[in-house]
Structure 1
């Protein structure tokens, strides 16, 4: 039987037996040499770094209005809707803001307000979403941004190698494509004043 030096949670070294596979025979000395050095991993491979957080687009419906390509941003902490879209949807239950929003480029702004539990239809599911309403340029290409809270709610499974995402709690076999971030940052956080 082979043994391996292991460091336990208390930081102490232990000699632990390595389970043997009945189909494979190990020579005891070769096994100990291979696993003796801490941090030395047999058959180690190098992975290449991914430099950008991935953003996805997907279709959905709010209040009967269809949106074909709103942004699902894995780096955003909250959900954002432009004031123009809120007005177009006839949103009248906009609550006053209680803090400021800080963007990934370190700029910040006070939102127009926020809407709680707005029902968003994705596929056959209705999802309650909390949106911060921001005044954006009228020609903003992504006037709706869905962040990590939305991704968690729909059970998003991000397939980074194939640059796509599926919403496992909505429908597992439908994938939405990644889009190029275009150099701008949609990452935002909230700072309460």
Structure 2
């Protein structure tokens, strides 16, 4: 079991159960979109963010992205770390059918995938810089935005990085907050050019 100082914000009860088996962190569930109407829960999350910081770990589907975006609307960026699970298709064991998008959520992905996502944001080692290392202009210069094939290149990059395919460029910039991640991304882009 790993120790995490920050509170980890997840969508639902089963996500919380899964994560609580891997870490001693305080895990808070948003009750899905219930967070939109729960002022008390929002205040609690804001308080946790100010006191110890939070890690947002939502599903990689559109609902997870919307909840993550909503949390970012009322919590200062410097108090948030963004952990992402990759797009893994399948269905959770407790469900009879896959989700609308067919992707596994936090509860369904293997524990080692969750630990890797948490490790990538520095909560395990304590090493983390919350300031973006790139700007939107840098992404444009790399061909990831503003070009004819940007969307396809960005989708291919996200897949190679093990990030959700619908990750916005703004969230990609937030994720690229360490030298290790930046170096990894640049190496992947260089390999793409070599393959072409």
TM-score (norm 2): 0.23
**1 or 2, which has the higher helix percentage?**
2
Structure having the larger proportion of residues in strand: 1
Say which structure, 1 or 2, has more relative contact order (CA 8 Å, 6+ apart). Answer: 1
| TM-score normalised to structure 1 length | 0.23
Q: Which has the larger radius of gyration?
A: 1
